[in-house]
Amino acid sequence: MTNSIFSQLVLPLSLFIIMFGMGLSLQRQDFARVVKFPKAVTIGLLGQMVLLPAMGFLIAALFVGTPALAVGLVLLAACPGGTTSNLISYHARGDLALSVTLTAITSVLTIITIPIVVGLALAVFKNTNVPIELPITRMVLTLFVITLLPISLGMLVRGLRTQLAQRLEPKISAFGAIFLGLLIIIILYEQGDSLLGQLVSAGPSTLLLNVVMMAIGFLLAVWFNLNDRQRASITVEVGVQNSTLAILIASTVLNDGTIALPAAMYSLAMYLTGGSFIIWRRWQGKRAVAL
């Protein structure tokens, strides 16, 4: 996939469309909300920008034996949240405004942090099968073109043509879900005979990263006495990342399909844990009403 038209054209273009759709759901107020509830945003950013990459390194070092898979896990941990985290937060009856705000801010910040974190991961887990020289300029440019630019364009359309944006956004979200499913199938198929061994190595580690970070996000929110809806959103935002972005970076910038495998596994795990979290939150709500 690394040298195919799919990875070099279809994947970036599709992610551009998906991020454009996310921009259609954003407004300038989403970035300004950091002033409205600074404590919740600060806690979310601490969990997502600091604790999550650190946990990615720890789990990769302890449980992932293949260097390329270890780098892939750290890359995944360095990625921002995405539309999936907003969707899960919404259905889990979290604070959607907080969820969107964190997704918007981290999508901008990770243009700077991803090259740093991935460069460190390559240095820590390097071997002959993993490229040592990180094309930082290309990575930053790629991140700008497929994150900040389409998000900005989507916000511009939202500001100028609100009704059009509201009609397009759910359609693009549906496209994103379908495309992610197709992407997972392609990555798994291309691993061929080595797939089973890599699944054993990467699968449990990605699930562990997802579960541990959701738990840490929840505990942070409880520790700092955030309200119930904010706790739900912090839990999701810290624990659910933009796996499609991780796959694109692995495939087009690092040119290694194996590095993309943890993100593909994570895409399956996050729907399992996210769905379970939604069910638990709905059960909590019904129980509270009954009492």
Q: Which domain CATH number covers 280?
A: 1.20.1530.20
Please tell me the predicted confidence (pLDDT) of residue 248. Answer: 81
Q: What angle do CA 279, 243, 215 make, to 5 degrees?
A: 45
AA letter at 227:
N
Asked if 24 and 168 touch (Cβ cutoff 8 Å), the reply is: yes
Please tell me the predicted confidence (pLDDT) of residue 216. Answer: 95
Q: Of 214, 159, 160, 30, which Cα lies nearest the Cα of 104?
A: 30
Asked if 99 and 89 touch (Cβ cutoff 8 Å), the reply is: yes
For residue 271, what are its two tokens?
């729907």
C-alpha–C-alpha distance, residues 24 and 10, integer Å: 21
Q: Mean pLDDT, to the nearest integer, of 91-96? A: 82
Q: What is the DSSP letter of 255?
A: -
**Computed over its alpha carbons, how large is the radius of gyration of the chain?**
18
Q: Which domain holds residue 160?
A: 5-290
Beta-carbon neighbour count of residue 8 at 10 Å? 14
Q: What is the pLDDT of residues 155-184, one digit of tens each?
A: 888 888 888 888 888 888 777 777 766 766
Q: Is the pLDDT of residue 5 over 70?
A: no
Q: What is the pLDDT of residues 112-149, one digit of tens each?
A: 888 899 889 988 887 545 445 566 677 777 777 777 78
| Total number of domains in the chain | 1
Please tell me the predicted confidence (pLDDT) of residue 189. Answer: 67
Please tell me the predicted confidence (pLDDT) of residue 225. Answer: 92
60 compared with 12, residue with greater pLDDT: 60
Q: Mean pLDDT, to the nearest integer, of 73-101? A: 83
